[in-house]
Amino acid sequence: MSVLELTAEDFDEMTAAGTVLVDFWAVWCGPCKMQAPIVDAFAEKRTDVRVCKVNVDEQPALAARFGIMSIPTLMVFKDGQAARRQVGLSSLEEIEELCK
């Protein structure tokens, strides 16, 4: 499944149902560039999880709302509720674990 880029307008709607993984990132961040192919691979593999991204530079309100203080940060939402988060680079195995 392809990875969706979220904005403040569609964030709540897109994370409302099921398990949703959100990758908070920015173009200036080297580790985020390493996280991207891993998140993409996870999206390929796990069609049961909706995989999204938020560019914190373009969406500062979302970054502030979820208290993102370091990127990459991955958050998992279950039926609209923030369930788990991992700060820093995550491996494919760690993402699997996070989405359990």
Partner 1 sequence: MDEKTWDILILGAGPAGISAALTAHARGRSVTVLGADPMTSPLAKAPRIDNYPGLPGMSGRDLLAAMTQSLAAQDIPRIEGRATGVMAFDGKFMVSAEQDVYTARSLILAAGAQQGTKPLLGESELLGRGVSYCATCDGMLYRGKRVAVLGLSGSAERDAAFLRQIGCQVLFFGPAQAKNCEIKGGTNVTGVVCGGEEYAVEGVFILRPTVAASVLLPGLAMTDGHIAVDENMATGVPGVFAAGDCTGRPYQIARAVGQGNAAALGADRYLKERDE
If you search the block for the tokens 């908070």, which residue do you land on?
Answer: 24
How crowded is residue 39: how many other Cβ atoms within 10 Å of its Cβ?
23
Active site residue 29: yes
CA distance 89 to 87: 7
Is 32 marked active-site?
A: yes
Shortest separation between residue 17's beta carbon and partner 1, angstroms: 28
* Single-letter amino acid, residue 20: V
| Residue 54: how many other CB atoms lie within 10 Å | 25
Task: Please report whether residue 88 would count as binding partner 1 according to CB under 8 A.
Answer: yes
Catalytic residue among 26, 29, 83, 89: 29
> For partner 1, which residue of 3, 4, 14, 29 counts as binding (CB under 8 A)?
29
| 9-to-26, 63, 92 alpha-carbon distances in Å | 19, 14, 29
- Please work out the total of residues on this chain that contact partner 1, with binding judged by CB under 8 A: 25
CB of 50 to partner 1, least distance (A): 22
Catalytic residue of the set 6, 20, 32, 76: 32
Main-chain dihedrals φ then ψ at residue 75, nearest 5 degrees: -125, 145
The binding site for partner 1 (CB under 8 A) comprises 26, 28-34, 37-38, 41, 56-57, 63, 67-71, 73, 87-89, 91-92
Catalytic residues: 29, 32
